[in-house]
Structure 1
Amino acid sequence: MRNIVEDVVKPMYPGLLPGVPEAHDCPVCREDVYVYALNRVSPHYVTTLTGEVLSKLEMQADQGRADIAIAIMEGLRAVTAAPRCGRKLATTS
């Protein structure tokens, strides 16, 4: 059993990263963005290859991809605002 939304979130992440130029792409921040997004999008659990294929087709619909993209962008902003990796935020004086 697995949540195949992960298979959509992870490949979408690199394409959305430039949308938040100040985002940090270390492994800790990247995983935090994945978790943020996955916790805000409905999971699609599958146990068979047939279920996986059908669910992936459903998630390729425009609305499903848009919901995931929004969750990733919100995650990028949230993680950038409070990174757990120890990175200091740039401040303007």
Structure 2
Amino acid sequence: MAKELFLKNYMEDCVWELLDQVLDQEPQACRCDTCRLDIVALALNQLPPRYAVREKGAIYSKLAMLEAQHRADIYRALTQAIMKVKEAPRHDR
């Protein structure tokens, strides 16, 4: 039986996990699917990827999320992305 391949950017999971917390600080920000995806994409482009190729690596990547600086970097990137999307949303209203 062949071993299943595994590749995951856990930074994406971390950004999604914190998105609603950061959006709560900006009540005027749109929360439609298009804007949420744009915010996450912009934030991820400002953050280093955290790829794991095995479940063990995934655990280490998840633990890095607990570090205060790591969370602060994600909050900053999300806040900047929210401001950009608020200024020029791409969705149809």
Q: Is 2:53 aligned against 1:47?
A: yes
2: distance between equivalents of 1:59 and 1:8?
7
In structure 1, C-alpha distance between the alignment counterparts of 2:92 and 2:86, rounded to whole Å: 11
Residue 72 (1) aligns with residue 90 (2): no
Structure 2 SS opposite 1:66? helix
Q: Which runs of 5+ in 2 are unaligned?
A: 1-6
Equivalent position of 1:83 in the other structure = 89
Q: Which runs of 5+ in 1 are unaligned?
A: 88-93
Equivalent in 20, 27, 32 of residue 26 of structure 1? 32
User: What TM-score, normalized to structure 2?
Assistant: 0.88
Deviation of residue 15 (structure 1)?
1.0
**Alpha-carbon deviations, 1:8-67, whole Å to 9, x = none?**
111111111121121000000000000011110110011100000011112210000000
Structure 2: distance between partners of 1:75 and 1:22: 14
Q: Percent identity?
A: 37
